[in-house]
Amino acid sequence: MSTIDIPYRHEWKHEINYSDYLCIWPRLRAVAEPDPHAVNGKYTIRSLYFDTPGDKALREKIDGVNMREKFRIRYYNGDTSVIHLEKKSRRNGLGTKAVADLTAEEAQKIVDGELDWMMESGRPLVQELYCKMRSQSLRPKTIVDYTREPFVYHPGHVRVTFDYNIRTGLGSTDFLNPDCITVPAGDAPMIMEVKWGAYLPDIIRLAVQVPNRRAAAFSKYAQCRIYD
């Protein structure tokens, strides 16, 4: 498939605890639908993030740089038959994502540093990653594993997710190995993300409200680098 560009969206992230989750979940379930791609309401995600030798992506996230991007490859529920290359971009507080498909063989070649095929792939995002791996020495950095419970609400193109059990592969990039060892990424909280397009419907705004919780920056990639 050619690259798919997802329009810029607004995004809130909240660090919540299990009690918050127990309050929010039934309210959200009453008005929103579970993502149809979820299995029993959830799925697991494995991502492999890229960074430069000087940790450009990590530093820009920590410093809150207004215009930034990061590359990752990921698959869901341990199924390596569908792998996505993704570039997430952040501009003026809004986020967007470009996505292209990879085969397991192609993903492994990227991990192994076999890159020449990428310019002939016919996929602009794969070609862009190739150029940045050559020009910026962008390389696979660490595995990030977590569990996600996703909900969708079609008016406003709203997506609400609960992410937890965040685990890091430390320095491992053995992305396709189901037996790759990962460990808890410190005392990582549960993260509630709320994403929407042109507007956030009041019914969702009310459903996700929790006293004494404010939107805050949180990066699962940064959290998984805490042991470096």
Is residue 41 included in any domain, yes or no? yes
Is residue 82 included in any domain, yes or no? yes
Is residue 138 included in any domain, yes or no? yes
* DSSP 8-state code for residue 127: H
Q: Would you say 136 and 42 are in contact if contact means Cβ atoms under 8 Å apart?
A: no
Beta-bridged to residue 13, according to DSSP, are: 193
Task: For residue 212, give its domain range.
Answer: 4-223
Return the amino acid letter for 116. Answer: D
- 187 φ, ψ to 5°? -95, 60
pLDDT of residue 79: 94
Q: What is the pLDDT along the chain (228 residues), one digit of tens a residue?
A: 556 666 788 998 999 999 999 999 999 999 999 998 888 899 999 999 999 999 999 999 888 888 899 999 999 999 999 999 999 998 887 888 999 999 999 999 999 999 999 999 999 999 999 999 999 999 999 999 999 999 999 998 999 999 999 999 998 999 999 999 999 999 999 999 999 998 999 999 999 998 877 777 789 999 999 988
Is residue 146 included in any domain, yes or no? yes
Is residue 228 included in any domain, yes or no? no
pLDDT of residue 62: 85
pLDDT of residue 81: 95
Q: Which tokens go with 78?
A: 């341990």
Burial of 32 (0-12, 13-18, 19+ CB in 10 A): buried
Beta-bridged to residue 148, according to DSSP, are: 43, 163
Return the amino acid letter for 57. Answer: A
Strands 190-196 and 139-153 come out as unpaired
CATH of the domain at 85: 3.20.100.30
pLDDT of residue 162: 97
SS3 category, 159: strand
pLDDT of residue 5: 66
pLDDT of residue 94: 86
Q: Total structural domains in the chain?
A: 1
Q: Would you say 148 and 43 are in contact if contact means Cβ atoms under 8 Å apart?
A: yes
Is residue 148 included in any domain, yes or no? yes
Is residue 207 included in any domain, yes or no? yes
Is residue 55 included in any domain, yes or no? yes
